[in-house]
Amino acid sequence: MGKIHLFSDLNAWKEAYELVILVYKLTDKFPAKENYALTGQMRRSAVSISSNIAEGFSRRGKREKILFYSTSLGSLTELQSQVLIAKGVGYLSGEDVAAINERLTVVHKLINGLIKGVTKLHNT
């Protein structure tokens, strides 16, 4: 693995970015009446995941880094809930949900890895 210079070098951010793209594509098919409701909420949650990873990367202190990475996990959990709601009301198919959940699982693990890495680095 190469040296990490930018937030966009982080695998967690790269995967979160791909999640944003997927969420935008899938929610683009939602009814127009959802533009300011579920569509907007899902998009904001997805964008928040990658944005908080980026902001956490830029922070110097352990607490700040962990705070932003933890916030991204909170947004990820919000998105998981919203995905279930979208499926429940018939906006997402089982296949769509599986695709999102697969990416959510990967991103979750990578963010946890960032948190563990920060904790380990600052404890040595």
Residue 107 in any domain: the answer is yes
pLDDT digit string (tens) for 20-66? Answer: 999 999 999 999 999 999 999 999 999 999 999 999 999 999 999 99
Residue 44 in any domain: the answer is yes
Q: How far apart are CA 105 and CA 110, in angstroms?
A: 9
Non-local (6+) Cβ contacts of 38 within 8 A are: 27, 30, 82, 85, 86, 89, 91
Q: How far apart are CA 111 and CA 100, in angstroms?
A: 16
Full-model pTM: 0.92
Where residue 64 sits, what CATH number does that domain have? 1.20.1440.60
Say if residues 42 and 83 touch (Cβ distance below 8 Å). yes
Give the range of the structural domain holding residue 77, as residue numbers without chain letter: 7-123
Residue 56 in any domain: the answer is yes
Residue 110 in any domain: the answer is yes
Q: How far apart are CA 1 and CA 109, in angstroms?
A: 17
Residue 86 in any domain: the answer is yes
Residue 1 in any domain: the answer is no
Domain count, the chain: 1
